[in-house]
């Protein structure tokens, strides 16, 4: 029998709310594996861990275990797809390609495992919904953090120079850490003097006795981050909003802070363009693995080039954005989703829509009920205050408490509305993509074009003026089928001079085979002469 491993995961919230117990997952997965003809070699379990990323000890162990050839693993069995990941980037960009490269199947014990175009599309939709559910959980946490920030309490760990303390009543507070506050103030004053660069300041602070809590030298990047942190002036930033009502004390004055900011800005450094680029973070340099960055030339031409962050001389290898647009558009001409698959996607979206609506309406109704209750309490208490039944102190204390709770409810309502809007936008993108990917791409906004590329691409690289777009398997299959169909139709049409007409004029079979400089999209030729400088 071939060997399989099992992965089970539960977060504390899911375990409490839904009973997705580890034991139940293991039992169902083992039964499925044995029924499918696999011997269970090992079980990996992450308890109390979120699937927002791959920073989980057991998933890392699983990846390492499956990567070893001697273990000869043929399948990874999970209870449901969202157990292994709730992040599209991790699932499509890391887990699935890694397992596919090793010839390992990812099997769900409770969902369809059909290896077809339709099956792959259904799994993609399921992963999108898993990410949506994760974002709902994140918004709850964010709502609490925002409420805390509104009350003047920094919702994260205190930076160097401060420490987090617990009061007797269990609440948290931030106080100055005298051991490190001295060095923080000295760092600002020394840098403000103009006598030190960031490098020499780091060395000077180390010489003066500044050490990390583990006794090591604090790196230059951490010193620079400290000098840019407005927290030391007695205010703080959270989600790009400045809170002036902070409860912690200042270590330095705002005047000193802003003088240091002026010094940190190099007068010779070019100002960043407030411009959105379609492909930043999507294309990698095949020389060194760095992501390509973009810049605007002469106010209208966009060029991408390697950042060179990992070393090597890759920065001179530029590509114009319009040429990337043309290459992607050529690939999209071949991605034509059959009408029956489009209908199945629509049917699946209806199911997801019903689930979303059920959850959304229930949560909103709950929140609105709680808001009404709090408003009632505030109104009644105020009437008691007017009658003299309760003291002003009692009224103030209760009013502040209930108002804070009410504000928190409104924040959560707003976040649910945002998620609803995001769901409709993503569903609309998926449907328009299945209707006509090529047309949608040509007419789409920068964000929509970017989303399309994320949907279809497995990997995108650039090397020696050659652009390489590797499609995800499902779209590779669709494109190959369409390409072969069109190629057969073209070859059946003989031109008057007796030659055969290819896919795009000079894309005739002979020319494709022998022409230098063709970039391939998987096994499909794409006209790389469009990409030559």
Active site residue 11: yes
Q: Single out the catalytic residue among 11, 50, 85, 528.
A: 11
Q: What is the DSSP string of 169-235?
A: TS-EEEEE-HHHHHHHHHHHHHHHTTS--HHHHHHHHHHHT---TTSPPPPHHHHHHHHT-GGGGT-
Q: 462, 480, 464: which is closest to 327 by C-alpha?
A: 462
Helix (H) or strand (E) holding 265: none
The neighbouring-strand residues paired with 42 are 5
Tokens 């902070």 correspond to what residue?
Answer: 246
The neighbouring-strand residues paired with 524 are 521
Dihedral of alpha carbons 459, 464, 465, 466, sign? negative
Longest Cα separation, the chain: 103
The pairing of strands 73-78 and 2-10 is: parallel
| Cβ(87)–Cβ(95) below 8 Å | no
- Token duo for residue 408: 């928190």
| Three-state SS at 516 | coil
The pairing of strands 172-176 and 38-47 is: unpaired
Q: Tally Cβ neighbours within 10 Å of residue 416.
A: 19
By the 10 Å C-beta count (0-12 exposed, 13-18 middle, 19+ buried), 477 is classed as middle
Helices 117-150 and 339-387 cross at an angle (nearest 10°) of: 20
Burial 304-328 (b: 16+ CB within 10 A, else e): bbbebeeeeebeebebbbebbbebb
Active site residues: 11
């Amino acid at each position: 029998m071939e060997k399989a491993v099992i992965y089970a995961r539960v977060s504390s919230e899911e375990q409490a709310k839904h009973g997705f117990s580890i034991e139940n997952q293991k039992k169902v997965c083992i039964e499925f594996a044995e029924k499918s003809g696999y011997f269970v070699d090992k079980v990996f379990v992450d308890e109390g861990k979120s699937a927002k990323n791959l920073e989980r000890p057991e998933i890392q162990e699983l990846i390492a275990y499956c990567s070893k050839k001697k273990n000869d693993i043929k399948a990874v069995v999970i209870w449901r797809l969202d157990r292994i990941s709730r992040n599209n980037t991790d699932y499509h960009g890391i887990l699935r390609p890694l397992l596919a490269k090793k010839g390992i199947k990812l099997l769900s014990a409770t969902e369809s495992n059909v290896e077809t175009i339709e099956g792959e599309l259904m799994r993609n939709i399921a992963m999108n919904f898993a990410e949506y559910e994760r974002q709902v959980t994140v918004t709850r946490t964010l709502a609490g953090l925002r409420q805390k920030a509104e009350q003047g309490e920094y919702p994260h760990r205190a930076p160097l120079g401060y420490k987090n303390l617990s009061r007797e009543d269990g609440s948290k507070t931030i106080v100055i850490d005298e051991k490190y506050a001295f060095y923080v103030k000295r760092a600002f004053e020394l840098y403000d003097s103009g006598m030190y660069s960031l490098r020499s300041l780091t060395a000077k602070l180390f010489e003066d006795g500044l050490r990390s809590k583990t006794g090591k030298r604090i790196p230059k990047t951490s010193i620079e981050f400290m000098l840019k942190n407005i927290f030391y002036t007695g205010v703080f930033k959270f989600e790009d909003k400045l809170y002036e009502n902070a409860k912690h004390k200042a270590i330095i004055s705002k005047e000193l802070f802003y003088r240091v900011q002026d010094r940190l800005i190099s007068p010779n450094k070019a100002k960043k363009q407030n411009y959105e680029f379609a492909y930043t973070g999507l294309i990698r340099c095949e020389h060194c693995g760095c992501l390509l960055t973009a810049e605007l030339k002469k106010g209208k031409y966009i060029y991408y080039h390697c950042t060179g962050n990992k070393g090597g001389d890759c920065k001179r290898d530029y590509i114009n954005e319009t040429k990337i647009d043309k290459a992607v558009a050529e690939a999209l001409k071949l991605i034509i989703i059959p009408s029956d698959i489009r209908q199945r996607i629509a049917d699946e979206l209806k199911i997801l829509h019903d689930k979303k609506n059920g959850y959304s309406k229930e949560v909103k109704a709950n929140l609105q009920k709680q808001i009404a209750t709090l408003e009632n309490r505030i109104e009644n208490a105020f009437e008691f205050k007017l009658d003299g039944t309760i003291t002003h102190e009692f009224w103030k204390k209760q009013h502040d408490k209930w108002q804070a709770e009410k504000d928190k409810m409104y924040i959560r309502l707003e976040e649910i509305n945002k998620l609803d809007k995001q769901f409709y936008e993503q569903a609309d993108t998926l449907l328009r993509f299945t209707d006509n990917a090529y047309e949608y791409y040509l007419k789409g906004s920068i964000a929509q074009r970017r989303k399309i590329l994320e949907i279809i691409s497995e990997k995108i690289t650039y090397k020696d003026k050659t652009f390489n777009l590797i499609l995800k398997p499902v779209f590779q299959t669709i494109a190959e089928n369409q390409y072969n169909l069109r190629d057969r139709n073209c070859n059946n049409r003989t031109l008057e001079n007796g030659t055969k007409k290819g896919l795009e004029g000079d894309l005739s079979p002979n020319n494709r085979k022998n022409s230098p400089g063709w970039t391939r999209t998987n096994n499909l030729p794409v006209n790389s002469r469009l990409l030559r400088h």
